Amino acid sequence: MERENVWNTYDLEMQKSCLDFAEEYRKFISENKTERECVDAFVNAAEDAGFVELSRAIEEEKKTGKKLQPGDKVYMTWMNKSMVLFRLGKSPMEEGVNILGAHIDSPRMDVKQNPLFEKGGYGYLDTHYYGGIKKYQFVARPLAIHGVIVKKDGETVVLNVGEDPDDPVFFVSDLLIHLAQDQMQKKAAEVVSGEALDLIIGNKPVIIDAKTKAGHKENKKDAKEAVKESLLKILEEMYGIKEDDFESAELEVVPAGPARDAGFDRSMILGYGQDDRVCAYPSFRAILDADFGGENGGAPERTSVCLLVDKEEIGSVGATGMQSHYFENALAEVMNLRGEYTELALRRCLANSDMLSSDVSSAYDPNWSECFDEKNTAFLGRGMVFNKFTGSRGKSGSNDANAEFIAHLRDIFSKEGVVTQTAELGKVDVGGGGTIAYILALYGMNVIDSGVPVLSMHSPAEATSKADIYEAYRGYKAFLRDANLRNA
């Protein structure tokens, strides 16, 4: 069964809309490489679009008794790393809501809590990789540091170094090919060990003038750690931080530089962090842009929700991951502000809801065709992807969507002219993967994985099709507008 190439379906106006949207997305992923940066950007855009922070709506209700009404827009962030947005619908929420759920964390290297050391005349930051990466892909390439350092007095220092053309960059060294005979015989997983991912951040010792040089020579410790001492001086002068401030820091090491157009035809985007911001950004834009009719975009029939979460790449754990209850708590708060909350109503809401787990799928790669079942895989440029199931080896760990739900989605997207394709994540018994879908499915709601195919997934330079990104955006808007999913 052949799937249509998206570009063949576009007239000139649609092609322009696609390319304009893709350029906005390219800029977004170039400027926002951590979950904190994504949340900050999303909050600014949401407030510009008329969304109100949930805590402010709660305070207003306490003071004036004002309830949320159909068409109202509220959002909540959690620990600056996850976010949920609501556009209130006309139907009671216990009848269910339409949810777009994506994750905004990506594989990377995290700086350890006691990271700074000197060895062989180089200053290093010790790191621990985050998520599934091929470790050898992160060596011998320009890297940037993004994140925050929170000092004991509560002051937060924001770091973003390596992105501006005038910034320095950082790197992990690799063994030169002339000496790599033994290294080249190792398995790919062993070529670079996790503990070898030490980030080089300097090489110049602290400058000592003639008057104090003799005194320094008498202190062997200072002489051995002159580069580290120099780096500590720089950090204190530039950022006001001391070595022990790393204990309360969250610093992420990511590939430096912007995402780029790829191909002579500029049909693709090549850049870091597209798993899963290539689905998170269209999901966020869909809840902002969806037109339900009426003033300011109107009110949907069923409440629309966009859920943007952290920690998916390491199992959706922790306070900001999908396994946390912050989404359930936010839903309860919104229902309460509508005068609809009871524990039973909340449970009915969750069970009656429908969700697109907006996550990426692996794109067919002819260079590695032996890993794919070609007739059941996604192709770049052939539209938004649906994965009925993910998991691995016998669908282990998978959500497996119901046929009735899929049939109704097919009907929605067919009527809207959204180009879609279906896929599995590689051949049976070759591998597999997971998403947040199974966690929301625990409530009994309809959930299916749907998103954008990605080439070179989890690498520092992932590739996507601009047409697929735009079709996902169009599909997500169509899903939010539908009022009959549970009744399918």
Tens digits of per-residue pLDDT, 343-354? 999 999 999 999
Give how far Cα 235 sits from Cα of 128, 150, 202, 244, Å.
21, 14, 12, 12
For 201, the enclosing helix (H) or strand (E) is strand 199-202
Determine the residue type at 464: T
Torsion of CA 21, 22, 27, 29, to 10 degrees: 120
Left, alpha or beta for 469 (phi > 0: left; psi -120 to 50: alpha)? alpha
What secondary structure letter does DSSP report for 294?
Answer: S
pLDDT at 488: 45
d(CA 241, CA 220): 25
Residue 226 CA to residue 26 CA, distance in Å, equals: 41
Q: Rounded to an integer, what distance in angstroms lies between the CA atom of residue 421 and that of residue 359?
A: 14
Specify the pLDDT at position 91.
95
Verify cis geometry, omega within 30 degrees of 0, for the bond prior to 105. no
What is the number of residues in the chain?
488
The per-residue pLDDT for 390 is 81
> Alpha helix (H) ranges present in 1-51?
12-31, 35-48
CA distances from residue 476 to 85, 322, 355, 412 in whole angstroms, order as listed: 14, 20, 10, 11
State pLDDT tens for residues 216-271.
554 555 567 899 999 999 999 999 999 999 999 999 999 999 999 999 999 999 99
Determine the longest span between alpha carbons in the chain, in angstroms: 84
Q: Which residues of the chain fall short of a pLDDT of 70?
A: 207-223, 485-488
Based on the number of CB atoms within 10 Å of its own CB, is 475 exposed (0-12), middle (13-18) or buried (19 or more)?
buried
Model's pTM, two decimal places? 0.94
In contact, 454 and 361? CB cutoff 8 Å: yes
* Segment holding 117, helix H or strand E: strand 108-119
